[in-house]
Amino acid sequence: MFDSSRSGPVSRAVVTSVATANLFAIAPIPRGSLAPITKNKSAKSRAAMRLLPLAAVLQAMFPVTTFAADVKALEKTLDPVVVTATRPALPSAASVDRDDARNDSVRDSAAMIESVPGAAVVRNGAQTGILQLRGLSQDRVKIRIDGMEISPACPNHMDPPMHYISPADIEAIQVTAGLTSVVQGGDSIAGTVTANTKGPRYSTTGAFEFSGRAKAGYSGANSGHEANLSLNLGGSGAALRYSGDTLQGGDLKYAGGTARLTGYDSVRHQLEGGIKVGNGEVGVSVGQHRSKDVGTPALGMDMIKDDADSVRVGYNGKFDVGGGASHIAGSVEARIYQHKIDHEMNNFTLRTYTPAAQRMKAPATSDDSGFVLGFTLPKGADTFRVGVDGHSNDFNVYQQSLGSGMIRDLVPNASRDRLGIYAEWETKPDPAWRTVLGLRHETVSTSASTVARSMGAGDTAERDAFNLAGRDKTDRNWDLTATARHTVGSALAWEFGIARKTRSPSLIERYLWKPSSTYGSADGQNYLGKIDLKPEVSNQLAVSADWQQGGAYLKPTFFYNRVNDYIQGVAARSAANAAVLQFSNIRAQLHGIDGAFGYQLDGAWKLDGILSYVRGENRDNNDNLYRIAPLRMTLALEYNSGPWNAAVEGKGAARQTHVSAYNAETETGGWGILNLRAAYRFGKLAKVSVGIENLFDKFYADHLSGRNTVNNAALGGGLAIGQRVPNAGRFAYVSAEYSW
C-alpha cells in the first residue's frame, strides 16, 4: 500500500534456493552496517534488532505530521502515478498498464516489462523471469515490490523478486532504465523497476462501500489456468482489501513437442488496510506466497518449495509547520517491511530418473528487512527531496547429498546491511528547462560465519582458506545523477543525462566458497565467490528525444555505459575443475539505442512500436558480455471503439552473433511471430479477452532462454539436453473478469 509511487503497506517474505556443486555434472551442457552483526544470534533476532530504531522514528513521526494545518485531500497514494499528457519528471520512466491487451496472456509478472523499450527477460523456467535493462540483469536491477526490496533465496535466482507478485493483482509497473533518480535507490547500475498491487480503496460517498473483482483465465501454452479474487470494504476514513490468486500450469508445448518439467503451482494471499490520520494515511499489509513443484529446466535443480511471508507498515502524508522564515511545508513518506523466504530445491522430486546416489537437495532462507524515510519540499520553482533508507538481508544456504547424508554449508549465516542517505534538487530555471541534480551515499557491510559442515577431505583446503579469511567487508559508495530536459516548442523535447552508479557485490558473489551454482547464468559452469571483490562503478551517458506531432510520436534514447570493476565469472586458476568460473572484477562497456514510436491513424486505429538494441563488451579481452538480448522490435496495430479492443501484433528479434566466448555461449537465429488479441467490455462491470499467440506455430527460442538440463527422453518429452528451451508454439488463451 505505501510506496513512494503507490504508497503501500510494508512487507515481509522469505525465499530460499540453491544449486549444488555436483549437480551440473548430472546434466552437462555443451560448452557500515545498520547494526553490529552478532554471530551467536539468530537471523530473525538480528533483523528485528536492526528495525527497532526505525520503529521508534515512525512512532514519533506520526503525531508530528497530524499538526499540519492544510487538510488538502491526499493524492491517491494507493494508486501509481501514470503520466499521460504532461511531461514526466526526470529521469522519465515508462509505465506498464496492467489492462494492456498484451498482458492478458501473462502468467509471470516479469513478462509484463517486455513492452518497455530497453527491457528484456532472462528465463530459466516458466516462473523465473530475471529482468534485464539495457543489457544488465540480476542484482544490477533495483526491483521494488510494493516498496520492498526482495533478495532471492536461491543462488541460481530461481526466485527473482517479480516471482512474488501476482500478474492479476498488479496495478501498474514503472520502469526507469539507466539513469535513475537517487530517490529511487542506490546499490544498482541498471535502473529501477517498481511494481505495485492495487491497494485498498476509500469510499467517495462517506458511507461504507463494498466492491470486488473476480477473474479466471486459461492458456493453451501449458494447459494453465489462473483464478483471482479481490474484495474491498471502504469507508471515508478507513479501507480494507483482500486479494488472493492461484496459478497452475503444466508442461510447455512448443511447435513440434513438449518441454518437460516446465510447470508450476502457486497460491498468494494478501490483506491490506488503510486509515487516514490527519493529513496523512497509515497502511498495514500482510501477505503469504506458496509455490511448489516449479520446473526450472535450464538449471540442475527444480524449485520444490518456496514459501514467503511479508508484513509492511507505511505512512504517507503532508505537513505544514512554522511560519514566516521558518515555515516548512511538504510531504513525507515512511515505511518499514520484512519479507521472509523458506526455499528448497532438489534434483529428484520432479526428475525422478536421478540415481539415488546422485540425489541432492539445497534448502535456503532469505530474510529481508528495510525502511524508507523521505521528505519532499517544494518551494517556488524548486523541489527538494531528502531522505534515508536501509535494507538488511540475512541469508543461509546448504546442500545435502541424500546418498551419503553429508551436508555442506554453501553460504553460512551471511548478512548484508545497506544504509543510504540522499538529496535531490529539481528546478525549472525557465519554462523551457527542467533540471534534476541528485547525490547519494551508501554504506554496504557484509559478513559470513565460518563453514561448519563440509563434504569430506575434498573440501578441506577451500573450507580452511575461507574460514581463515577476513570475511567482514564494508564499501562506501557514491552515486550522482544529473539530468536536464529542454522543451523546444510544443512538439519536441530533449533530455540529457549523466550518472555515476555503484553496486556492491552480493552475498553469493562474495561468500560462495565452494563451486556449486550458476548464479542463474545457466551456462553449464559452476561459480565460485571471491571475498575481495570491489563494487561495480558505472558511468553513464544518455540522450533522449521526445517528439509528438499530431497523431505521431517518436521517443528514442541513445546510451553509453562504462562499468569499472564489472563482476563476471573468470576462469579460477586454483580450481581443479576447468568448468569453474570465479567472480572477478573486469572492465566492461555497453551502448545502444531503444525507444518507442507510433501513429494514431484515425479515431479507432493506432500503430505502436518499440525497438531495443544493446551491445555489451568485455574491455579486458575484447570478448562480448554474456546473455545479452539481441536487436528486437514489437509492432502492433490496435483497434479501439466502444466496448471493443483488438490488436494484431508482430514480435521479432535479430540473430545474436555477439556472444561470449568465455561462457561458451552459442549464437542464436532471428525469429518473428504474429499474435492476435481481442477484448470486449460489458459496460463497466465485465470483460472477456481472447487471443492467439504465435499464429503460424513457429519453432523458435529466444536468446535469453536457458539450455535444457532435463532428461526429456526419460520423461516422455522431446527436448534434448543442451538444447535451448524453446518458446511456446501456437496457442489460444481466454480470460473473463467481473467487477462490482
| Three-state secondary structure of 267-309 | EEEEEEEEEEECCEEEEEEEEEEEEEEECCCCCCCEEEEEEEE
**pLDDT tens readout for residues 28-81:** 333 333 333 333 344 444 544 454 444 444 443 443 333 333 323 333 333 333
- List, for residues 340-392, the tens digit of each pLDDT value: 999 999 999 999 999 999 999 999 999 999 999 999 999 989 999 999 999 99
Q: Is the pLDDT of residue 86 over 80?
A: no
Least confident of 2-11, 30-39, 402-411, 664-673: 30-39
Instruction: Check residue 121 and give its pLDDT.
Output: 95
| Listed residue (675, 705, 700, 701) closest to 690, CA to CA | 675
Residue 9: Cβ within 10 Å count: 32
Residues 538 and 351: their CA atoms lie apart, in Å, by 41
- Among the residue ranges 66-70, 230-234, 680-684, the one predicted with the least confidence is 66-70
Kindly report the number of other CB atoms within 10 A of residue 76's CB atom.
Answer: 14
Write down how long the chain is.
740
pTM summary value: 0.87
> How far is CA 256 from its chain centroid?
32
- 126-135 burial: b if 16+ Cβ within 10 Å, else e: bbbbbbbbbb
Sheet strand arrangement including 119-122 = 119-122, 130-133, 136-137
| Residue 652, all three cell numbers | 521479432
The percent of residues above 70 in pLDDT, for the chain, comes to 86
Residue 622 — pLDDT band, cuts 50, 70, 90? very high
Secondary structure letter of residue 458 according to DSSP: G
Half-sphere exposure of 504 (CA within 13 A, CB side): 25
Mean of the per-residue pLDDT values of the chain: 87
* DSSP codes, 163-188: GGS-GGGEEEEEEEESS--GGG-SS-
**Residue in the block written with cell 575443475:** 577
Instruction: Please tell me the predicted confidence (pLDDT) of residue 32.
Output: 32
Give pLDDT, residue 686. Answer: 95
Least confident of 43-57, 72-86, 592-606, 661-675: 72-86
Residue with grid cell 503520466, as numbered in its chain: 83
| Whole-number Å distance between alpha carbons of 689 and 174 | 24
Among 74-78, 184-188, 447-451, the minimum mean pLDDT is found in: 74-78
Average pLDDT over residues 462-484: 96
Confidence at residue 571, expressed as pLDDT on a 0 to 100 scale: 84
Report the alpha-carbon distance of residue 666 to residue 657 in Å, rounded: 8
Taking the CA atoms of 628, 94, 589 and 142 in sequence, report the sign of the dihedral they define.
negative
Q: How many CB atoms lie within 10 A of CB 357?
A: 9
By DSSP bridging, strand 526-528 and strand 580-600 are: parallel
Q: Which three cell numbers stand for residue 633?
A: 522490435
Which residue has 544488465 as its cell numbers? 136
Q: Sign of dihedral through CA atoms 719, 720, 721, 723?
A: negative
Give the cell for residue 99: 489492462
* Residues contacting residue 152 through CB under 8 Å, at least 6 positions apart: 15, 17, 158, 159, 160, 161, 341, 366
Placement of cell 458511507 in the chain: 207
User: Residue 8 is which amino acid?
Assistant: G
Q: How far apart are CA 454 and CA 409, in angstroms?
A: 6
The amino acid at 649: E
CB distance 416 to 393 below 8 Å: yes
User: In the predicted model, is pLDDT for residue 82 greater than 70?
Assistant: no
